[in-house]
Structure 1
């Protein structure tokens, strides 16, 4: 019995000898063949420098915060009556293109020549730059067979022009390819891989349905892109005619304006109008489609193009690329800081600050240049903080 007690005491002494520094000294996995029990150091084995021992700190369990509710809310959890919260002032950003009568951007216009009005009230610019920033573009293509029988050859020419536009992407640009007929399909989500974008366009071969849900395709895409920061745009190749969307035209206009994403439209009906009319298509439908595309572009700060011949297709995409690459980016803190959720109109002007008259732009020969200012029509004010 005594031997058993002595053996247990000896074993206990070996285990008790494993204190702070010796346990910390054992790092990493135990090597094969090594002892699993560390030998306590004797005084003779200790180094000349005293070893500093640190007590082991045991952290007390952290009390998790309770979910506030009316039942467990304490008096100290309530906000004192004398504490007020001040909302940060909103900054409205506006991307502006200044184009000559050929659609070419006019660069190097000084900040002092720009004037922005919100609801006819002049605003003070706090941000101003002209940089070729990376861009995120959604290419939406109508892929219904509604007009395919009229221009099957022209369809492939259009895709070829669109493919040329995708090749202007830079390494830090992103693009998505989206097709629609009676439903919307993402053929390639946002990527900077040109091969994936080209493969997506190659899938647009034989359309299956004659219906078109243009409104739904545009608003769904704009909603996704509204959460993306930086320069962005929607480029849509379409007839401008919608036959299957859940949304109405007015609702689509409102949602596109609120998204803040400019829309660049390339209408295709000019190319097939003559043949389509000869087969009973309505001229009213064509005119309505053109007007809708113009409205979407104007109100969002984009442009609308209606090529009459296939040879004009590449030029339309080239102008879109130039407009997106050469924009003036500016911002201001609106004088009206009310959070009422109302739509506020924006007007951008070029003026001579000395005379307050419209700015006169001339070419190298001194001839006046007619220019066009492209910017979004307004924005929706934020709602009150809940």
Structure 2
């Protein structure tokens, strides 16, 4: 229900959303659509449990977004573990960065340590979210999940798009790192960033595209 309300709150007439589940395999529950009734029906048919193909889901989600116009967002609800993917962490991260999607991760485990918890998978998911300019949230119950969705919705309505032309140069890697800083209005650019201003942006971009 929290996911349903989130989708209804952010989708505009010109937007579209697709829904995937990832257990042993990644399954498309509904292709990209702006028809909310179709999305609602797909959500009702979601079954949880079994293995987790997290990196496969990130890779295939990124691939589905690569040629779509406009802002791209990938929202993941998972425990952070990966037990069944054929794609590795690095390939999933690269695909997400090449698609230029913001990855928001809702990690469905308590913050406190627990037996059997996949902390390595959690850290990998956190890194993917951070490197793409998205965020991660711990949400082990419905109120936390609703709060996370609300924060994501607020952020997607209050973002800035910055663009620039880099100097042409040859490099050993097709990955270009970028850094964004913020300064108080009227302050010299040479000053350090204001600690009260928090900037979150993608760590860089690839000059090559995901195929």
The TM-score, its normalising length taken from structure 1, stands at: 0.50
Match of 2:110 among 267, 270, 273: 270
1:90-140 deviations in Å (ceiling 9; x for gaps): xxxxxxxxxxxxxxxxxxxxxxxxxxxxxxxxxxxxxxxxxxxxxxxxxxx
- The equivalent position to 1:304 in structure 2, one of 115, 131, 136, is 136
Aligned to 1:333: 165
What is the CA–CA distance in structure 2 between the aligned matches of 1:319 and 1:210, rounded to whole Å?
29
From 187, 192, 196, give the equivalent of 1:358.
192
Structure 1 residues 253, 355: closer, same or farther in 2, change over 3 A? closer
Partner Cα separation in structure 2 for residue 267 and residue 331 of structure 1: 31
- Structure number with the bigger relative contact order (C-alpha 8 A, sep ≥ 6) is 1
User: Is residue 108–residue 139 contact of structure 2 (8 Å, CA) maintained in 1?
Assistant: yes
Is the CA contact 2:104–2:129 (under 8 Å) kept in the aligned structure 1? Answer: yes
Partner of 1:228: 68
Deviation at 1:290, TM superposition (A): 2.1
The gaps in structure 1 that reach 5 residues or longer are 1-159, 361-368
CA distances 1:342-381 after superposition (whole Å, capped 9, x unpaired): 2111100012552521354xxxxxxxx8332111100112
| 1:8-28 Cα distance to aligned partner (Å, 9 max, x none) | xxxxxxxxxxxxxxxxxxxxx
Distance 1:359 1:250, change over 3 A: closer
Corresponding position of 1:125: none
Higher strand proportion, which one? 1
* Aligned equivalent of 1:259: 99
Q: Does 1:163 align with 2:163?
A: no
Q: Could you say which residue in structure 2 is the equivalent of 1:376?
A: 202
The number of residue pairs the alignment matches comes to: 206
Work out which of the residue numbers 41, 44, 63 in structure 2 matches 1:202: 44
| Shift of residue 338, structure 1, vs aligned partner | 3.5
Question: In 2, distance between residues paired with 1:310 and 1:260?
Answer: 29
Given that residues 340 and 381 in structure 1 are in contact (C-alpha distance below 8 angstroms), is that contact kept between their aligned partners in structure 2?
no
Q: How far apart are 1:307 and its partner, in Å?
A: 2.4
2:16 counterpart of 1:174? yes
Distance in 1 between the 2:169 and 2:155 partners?
A: 31
Extract unaligned runs of 5+ from structure 2.
none
Structure number with bigger Rg:
1
Q: What's the counterpart of residue 320 of structure 1?
A: 152
TM-score, structure 2 as length reference: 0.88
Contact 2:106 2:137 in 1 (8 A): yes
Candidates 237, 240, 246, aligned match of 2:77: 237
The answer (yes or no) to whether the contact 1:300–1:375 under 8 Å persists in 2 is: yes
Cα distance in structure 1, aligned partners of 2:137 and 2:121: 12
